[in-house]
Structure 1
Amino acid sequence: MLYDAIRFQAFHQDMRIAMIGVKGVPAAMTTGGGIERHVEQLAPRLAGLGHEVTVYVRHYANPRGTKRWNGCTLVTLPTIRRKYLEAIVHVFLSTLHALRQKYDIIHYHGVGPSTLSWIPRVFAPRCRVVITFHSRDQFHEKWNIIARAYLAWGEWTAVRFPHATIAVSHVIQQFCIKLFGVKPFFIPNGVEIPSASIGSDRMKTLGLEPGRYFLGLGRLIPHKAFDDAIRAFRNVPTAMSLAIAGAPGYDMRYAEELYALAELDPRVRLLGFRTGEDLQQLLAHCYAYVCPSRSEGLSIAVLEAMSHGKVVLMSNIPENLELIDHSGMSYEVGNIQDLTRLFTFAAREPALLRERGERARHIVKLHFSWDSIVRQTDSVYESLKA
């Protein structure tokens, strides 16, 4: 361990790094998602290694204009708050600003932002460009056919434009190899192992009983498929509850559909966006976690549930199956009856869930430590500057 630390310091070079493609940090906001949570953990740790890290954030996500956060510089720029323009406009303005800052590394997050990564390749040739391929966004159901075509092209740009590509899952890495003939670096999302003692005083306020509810977390958007979970749960013979915490996306129609479904079953509770102590207690005291998504990258929410020693009931998309390693339970994606069966089985097997939950916690400790992930990311940067 000491030898490794000395060797790391000997070859480590401090760099100026820009992060582009996030809404804002910290991710404790109604608009925060997986990428925000990823950068929230990655950027401060890179700063802790001695790098000068700048995160480009959107104006509405930093209303006070904060300039420093956890050792990082925040650059706040405007955007157009429209579903099809917000991200790309902010990434474009951020890229123009970054060209003048003489960064060593510009790190784009997501295949949409990657479409503009050619700009620093052309106009800042001494800078090295890195892209993290977080998920295949073209399959998110909120996009129209034009946006999906653009995001499909973004997948090509994510491996062709940068000096290095990082894939957060083996599934994405293999996709890039098979379709584009390029092997990205595999560096997964991570999670912090929670404290062993988390209170339960918020449970009553949330209308829940510790250990007596299934939990789902995520934005209320179609590809998260919480409607599947609610429909399946209606037919489960149990006194337990189903709690879903998350904020609506741009399209309120899906959220309204979920609220209408929830009204049909008093056991279903939609809790809105939750963060901080509420979120920690929800994860710590749920009976099991449910992830019915039709599309994911590598879900940080699933990793967080596993870190709390919880079994995850998940759709059998490859990105989910990559995580569980016999610690969770899967069902056929989109199959309501199969999910009903899984809910029912899980509700009747508390001893099995405790056993598999401990395995889940062990898997997270072994493979998804943020400190390890940051060192791997730093090694990618170092290799580009060598």
Structure 2
Amino acid sequence: MPSNKNKLRIAVLGQKNLDRSGGIEVVVTELTTRMVKLGHEVTCYNRRGHHVSGKEFDTNIKDSYQGVQIKTVPTIDKKGLAAMTSSFFAAIYCAFGKYDIVHFHAEGPCAMLWLPKLFDKRCIATVHGIDWQREKWKGGFASKYIKFGEKVAVKYADEIIVLSKNIQDYFKDTYGRETVFIPNGVNKPEVREPQLIIDKFNLNKDDYILYLGRLVPEKGLRYLITAFKEVKTDKKLVIAGGASDTDSFFTEIKELVKNDPRIIFTGFVQGQILEELYSNAYIYTLPSDLEGMPLSLLEAMSYGNCCLTSDIDECAQVVKDKAVTFKKSAINDLREKLQYLCYNSDVVDKYKTEASNYICEEYNWDDVVKQTMHLYN
């Protein structure tokens, strides 16, 4: 425990809640609960509104979670306005609150970072990805607003944390701004036998190829579905995740899977079903065009999965030689790699034996917290 002299009062904003509704939420949950265990005082300013996959997944968090103080701020729960309004009110509370550190997560919320800086707060920004490039925001006000948040962070943040070397280069080349590379972490999981996934989806061990993440265009689902439909295999393709703000895209990909009964949509998953899906996949695949640092990839490897990802830096730098990559956006290359792995279970088994130890040693949440606390100080 730190002495009272070293105890920090930390405010965190940008997340929806402390849960698994998205990558930012997982990161904030892992960091803040560990900071509390180290003896620091942490307050999270959460949005109002329902879980991205529907109110049935809402987490019943009241005023605290594992020692983290929770304050829910006013929010206009509409696409494009929720992040803006919640971060505005959160930033005001942080400006007037007695905090040593105000930590902003994601570029959009950083648009309000100047507010606590007016009151001489030490402000840290974590950029999880270049969000204005995401397809759902392109060409509109939201994209411009998110990019404005990026520029505010560059100008006013005391420190900027980035999750990949690629994004670190982007800030240096675009703004001449130095950033600090602190990757995400992962926990060593308990591998589960298939039970619920047999009952609910008729899935057994090594029976399926798994995609797990948001159903958004930049994740490469169009390529994955198109490629898989041409793969000769009895294995299923399981697409697990919520549709978020992209209902039209979900309709498009549902149309794409027509006439292929091997493709299964599970919707958003959590808890034991999520753990069983990770534990029993034949291959985990992430065909993204755009990532920050994909937590689902770290988690999939931690369960000992053979992973197949696009060759973007944010994935390739994580997996190194412990997974298979294909050329980004190249449907034929993806199809060929899927077919090769379906035909060669010995190759799949080799990657499985190496994945978990490698990723759990390389990316550790306790190390991430230690580096973050060093930056705070």
Under TM normalisation by the shorter chain, which class is it? Answer: over 0.9
| Distance in structure 2 (CA, Å) of the matches to 1:207 and 1:228 | 25
Query: Which residue among 15, 36, 49 is the counterpart of 2:38?
Result: 49
| Distance in structure 2 (CA, Å) of the matches to 1:360 and 1:338 | 22
| Structure 1: segments with no counterpart, 5+ residues | 1-7
1:300–1:260 Cα change, 3 Å? same
Match of 1:134 in 2: 128
Match of 2:16 in 1: 23
Which residue type is aligned with residue 138 of structure 1?
W
Match of 2:103 in 1: 107
| Distance in structure 2 (CA, Å) of the matches to 1:34 and 1:143 | 18
Q: Which moved more, 1:370-379 or 1:59-68?
A: 59-68
Q: Secondary structure at the match of 1:106?
A: strand
Which residue type is aligned with residue 123 of structure 2?
V
| Structure 2: segments with no counterpart, 5+ residues | 51-57
Q: Secondary structure at the match of 1:254?
A: helix
Instruction: Provide the aligned length of Structure 1 versus Structure 2.
Output: 368
Match of 1:59 in 2: 48
Q: Secondary structure at the match of 1:258?
A: helix
Deviation for aligned residue 1:294:
1.3
| Distance in structure 2 (CA, Å) of the matches to 1:129 and 1:224 | 31
Map 1:1-16; keep pairs closer than 5 Å.
13-16=6-9
1:326/1:356 contact within 8 Å kept: no
1:179–1:358 Cα change, 3 Å? farther
* 1:179-238 residue CA offsets vs partner (Å, 9 max, x unmatched): 22222111101111112x412111212221211211001111111121221111000001
1:159/1:184 contact within 8 Å kept: no
Please report the TM-score for the alignment, with normalisation by the length of structure 2.
0.93
* 1:213-272 residue CA offsets vs partner (Å, 9 max, x unmatched): 110011111111212211110000011110010111223111112222223211100110
Match of 2:55 in 1: none
Match of 1:38 in 2: 27
| Distance in structure 1 (CA, Å) of the matches to 2:338 and 2:4 | 51
Match of 1:201 in 2: 195
1:343–1:139 Cα change, 3 Å? same
Which residue type is aligned with residue 37 of structure 1?
V
1:314/1:330 contact within 8 Å kept: yes
Deviation for aligned residue 1:12:
8.2
1:243/1:271 contact within 8 Å kept: yes
Q: Which moved more, 1:236-245 or 1:325-334?
A: 325-334
* 1:87-126 residue CA offsets vs partner (Å, 9 max, x unmatched): 011000111112221111000001111111011111x21x
Taking only aligned residues, the RMSD between alpha carbons, in angstroms, comes to 1.8
Deviation for aligned residue 1:363:
2.4
Identity of aligned pairs, percent? 32
Match of 1:5 in 2: none
| Distance in structure 2 (CA, Å) of the matches to 1:9 and 1:115 | 32
| Distance in structure 1 (CA, Å) of the matches to 2:32 and 2:41 | 10
Q: Secondary structure at the match of 2:143?
A: helix
| Distance in structure 2 (CA, Å) of the matches to 1:340 and 1:65 | 43
| Distance in structure 2 (CA, Å) of the matches to 1:40 and 1:318 | 26
Match of 2:267 in 1: 272
| Distance in structure 2 (CA, Å) of the matches to 1:273 and 1:18 | 29
Q: Which moved more, 1:258-267 or 1:282-291?
A: 258-267
Please report the TM-score for the alignment, with normalisation by the length of structure 1.
0.91
Which residue type is aligned with residue 222 of structure 2?
D
| Distance in structure 1 (CA, Å) of the matches to 2:264 and 2:22 | 21
1:262/1:270 contact within 8 Å kept: no
Q: Secondary structure at the match of 1:73?
A: strand
Q: Secondary structure at the match of 1:115?
A: helix
Q: Which moved more, 1:269-278 or 1:202-211?
A: 202-211
Which residue type is aligned with residue 118 of structure 1?
W
Map 1:139-218; keep pairs closer than 5 Å.
139-145=133-139, 146-195=141-190, 197-204=191-198, 205-218=200-213
Match of 1:71 in 2: 67
Deviation for aligned residue 1:63:
7.3
